[in-house]
Amino acid sequence: MSRQMIVGNWKMNGTCQAAQALVAGLVGRLPQDSAEVVICPPFTQLASVADQLVGSFIGLGAQDCHQAASGAYTGDISAPMLADLGVSHVILGHSERRQGHAELDETVREKAVAAIHAGLTPIICVGETAEQRDANQHEDVLGWQIEGSLPAGFSGVLAYEPIWAIGAGRAATEEQIAQTMAFLRAELLRQFGEAGKAVKILYGGSVNAGNAPSILSIPEVAGALVGGASLDADAFLSIVGAASAS
């Protein structure tokens, strides 16, 4: 198995002081030969966290960006601004953005293009609702999201997060994850050809220290997008420890 990636999505949590304490609990405890690790604090914490991560093996990510490089977009942050802070990755199209901010696939794709142009690696999220899963529509939904959200020549990261499992305290079953991951890989190959082989696919949705070893051992799972468990240094490091570093 190739080196896996563990991404911590802190969402809208913490102050700068809390962020500093959390990073202090991670830096120095992560071996050089670990899985690839990226943490994604809120915008307000990026600058101070960036300073703490200097010389460490932890990458810095953001939770969103605007599709324009600059302009009259009050309250928004552009990809070049993130790059200026030392950010290397950016989460795009998370279901909480798609649902809470009415983001369309087209919007996510435009943001991905902007991120790539700024030198950032986009982590694009896709996922189905419980109703779509129950109606056996999840593969159609995921295929449409990939087609609409990933730009031509995409070489970033795809994160599968079933909406019904996010923050629910339960992950999808191993069988569900394995079947969906196989479908996503086939869909990437269908839409992008050989380039689809290189796209890492992460799983997200109530990943924790207890279920991480089994989830990360599923074929095609190239890592995890971790929410709540990433706010606890010990739990997050345990998940990282379960990932493949080779």
SS3 track for 120-162: CEEEEEECCCHHHHHCCCHHHHHHHHHHHHCCCCCCCEEEECC
CATH number of the CATH domain containing 174: 3.20.20.70
Amino acid at 173: T
Residue 211 is labelled as binding a ligand: no
| Among 36, 90, 37, 81, residue whose Cα is nearest residue 61 | 90
C-alpha torsion sign, points 215, 5, 221, 149: positive
| Residue-range definition of the domain harbouring residue 105 | 5-242
Question: What are the residue numbers of the active site?
Answer: 94, 161
With a threshold of 0.85, does the pTM exceed it?
A: yes
Residue 228 is labelled as binding a ligand: yes
Amino acid at 66: H
Residue 9 is labelled as binding a ligand: yes
Residue 13 is labelled as binding a ligand: no
- State the CB neighbour count (10 A cutoff) for residue 220: 18
Q: How many domains does the chain have?
A: 1
Q: What is the pLDDT along the chain (246 residues), one digit of tens a residue?
A: 589 999 999 999 999 999 999 999 999 898 888 999 999 999 999 999 999 999 999 999 999 999 999 999 999 999 999 999 999 999 999 999 999 999 999 999 999 999 999 999 999 999 999 999 999 999 999 999 999 999 999 999 999 999 988 876 667 899 999 999 999 999 999 999 999 999 999 999 999 999 999 999 999 999 999 999 999 999 999 999 999 876
